[in-house]
């Protein structure tokens, strides 16, 4: 699904660590929150214009405070600014920069009082803007990807590549960058390389196109699909042996983001050339391969190796 285009995105700034500064780049705790203005926050994200793909940005400094000092009057003013902008037809959504300490409260308040289906995305930072490696610019960049996504609606929070619902988000760590959790509900989604991946994409067909074949074909005639893993010093002879024995498909659980030892990659590429269907996934228990990183085709939908084996077997029944 492609991002909406030629709309207005409004950035409302409220302060927080994302706008904080310290005397030293290595100081992550002894800083002063709410020092930089909204334009300075946006200027720190050089890739922003490309990512906006023609969308216009409007920004407003609603307030400049450390969110420990958030109060009802500020909430009301912020909600009124949100309501004002959301009522404009050309506005696609709002990004709010906010301190992490009370972000979850503001998110829920806004969710409760705003009447809109447009997205309102709160984002933040755990390190001040002056840190050696500040997290604010990336979080702001990610929030832009979420606010522009056609499936985004309601009040969301984006931090450290995770998307949270206003209902579930909670700050759970006082220091680490990935400071928020949605508890049992889990993240609504993730932002990877500027792309949004929803936990529930909503549009996958549940039944495989070749399902009927699996119900009717004798199991002895089901395609043979094997699972292999990449690891230190893998032996490519296992691929050759499988091909010689007549394997029709191989799912490889690669290391990390789907990396494959060069000897195994050569053997799998050769197997592909010989007509074996090869799919790549990751042996990591969480996440999925991001980007097109290999000559080998990636298993669909971020399936793990064992589920990718089933899908490939069904594919090959067609
Ligand atoms: C704040 O909540 O404004 C300061 C702390 C933070 O943003 O991490």
CATH number at residue 242: 3.40.50.40
63 lines ligand 1 (CB under 6 A): no
* Residue 57: inside a domain: yes
**Whether 278 and 173 share a structural domain:** no
* Residue 211 in domain: no
* Residue in 16, 135, 139 to alter for ligand 1 test, most ligand atoms within 8 A of Cβ: 16
> Rounded to two decimals, what is the model's pTM?
0.90
Q: What is the pLDDT of residues 168-212, one digit of tens each?
A: 999 999 999 999 999 999 999 999 999 999 998 777 778 999 999
Residue 252 belongs to a domain: yes
Would residue 240 count as lying in a domain?
Answer: yes
Residues 157 and 235 in one domain: no
d(CA 75, CA 61): 14
Domain shared by 38 and 183, yes or no? yes
- Taking the C-alpha atoms of residue 162 and residue 180, their distance in angstroms, rounded to an integer, is 8
Supply the CATH number for residue 130's domain.
3.40.50.1170
In the predicted model, what is the mean pLDDT of residues 3-26? 92
- The range of the structural domain enclosing residue 59 comes to 8-198
First vs last Cα of the chain: how many Å apart?
27
Please choose, from the candidates 102, 78, 231, the residue with its C-alpha nearest in 3D space to the C-alpha of residue 166: 102
236 and 194 assigned to the same domain: no
Per the CB < 8 A criterion, the answer to whether 34 and 13 are in contact is no
φ and ψ at residue 163, rounded to 5 degrees: -110, 130
Helix (H, G, I), strand (E, B) or coil at 224: coil
Mutational test site, ligand 1, from 28, 30, 36, 67, max ligand atoms within 8 Å of CB: 67
Q: Stretch 236-252: mean pLDDT, rounded? A: 98
Within 10 angstroms of residue 213's Cβ, the number of other Cβ atoms is 16
Tell me, in angstroms, the distance from the centre of ligand 1 to residue 94's CA: 20
Q: Does residue 297 form part of some domain?
A: yes
Cα 297 from Cα 202, distance rounded (Å): 23
pLDDT higher than threshold 90 for residue 6: no
When divided into structural domains, the chain yields a total of: 2
Residue percentage of the chain with pLDDT more than 90: 92
Helix 262-273 and helix 237-244, axial crossing angle in degrees, nearest 10: 20
Q: Looking up tokens 């009447």, which residue turns up?
A: 115
Whether residues 193 and 229 fall in one domain: no
Query: How far apart are the C-alpha atoms of 169 and 180, rounded to whole Å?
Result: 7
């Amino acid at each position: 699904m492609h991002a909406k285009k030629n709309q207005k995105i409004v950035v409302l700034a409220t302060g927080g660590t994302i706008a904080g500064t310290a005397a030293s780049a290595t100081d992550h705790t002894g800083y002063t929150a709410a020092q930089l203005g909204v334009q300075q926050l946006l200027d720190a994200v050089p890739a922003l214009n490309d990512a906006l793909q023609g969308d216009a940005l409007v920004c407003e400094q609603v307030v400049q405070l450390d969110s420990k000092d958030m109060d009802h009057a500020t909430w009301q003013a912020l909600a009124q600014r949100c309501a004002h902008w959301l009522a404009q037809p050309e506005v696609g959504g709002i990004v709010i920069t906010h301190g992490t300490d009370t972000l979850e409260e503001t998110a829920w308040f806004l969710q409760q009082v705003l009447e809109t289906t447009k997205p309102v995305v709160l984002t933040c930072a755990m390190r001040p803007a002056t840190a050696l490696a500040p997290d604010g610019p990336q979080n702001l960049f990610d929030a832009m990807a979420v606010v522009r996504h056609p499936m985004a609606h309601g009040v969301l929070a984006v931090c450290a590549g995770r998307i949270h619902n206003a209902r579930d988000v909670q700050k759970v760590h006082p220091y680490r960058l990935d400071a928020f959790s949605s508890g049992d509900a889990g993240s609504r989604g993730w932002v990877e390389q500027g792309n949004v991946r929803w936990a529930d994409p909503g549009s996958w067909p549940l039944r495989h196109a070749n399902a009927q074949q699996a119900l009717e074909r004798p199991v002895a005639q089901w395609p043979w699909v094997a699972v292999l893993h990449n690891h230190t010093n893998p032996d490519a002879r296992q691929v050759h042996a499988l091909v010689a024995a007549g394997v029709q498909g191989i799912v490889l659980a690669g290391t990390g983001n789907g990396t494959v030892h060069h000897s195994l990659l050569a053997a799998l590429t050769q197997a592909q050339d010989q007509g074996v269907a090869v799919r790549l996934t990751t042996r990591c228990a969480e996440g999925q391969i991001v980007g097109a990183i290999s000559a080998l085709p990636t298993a669909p939908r971020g399936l793990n190796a064992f589920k990718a084996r089933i899908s490939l077997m069904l594919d090959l029944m067609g």
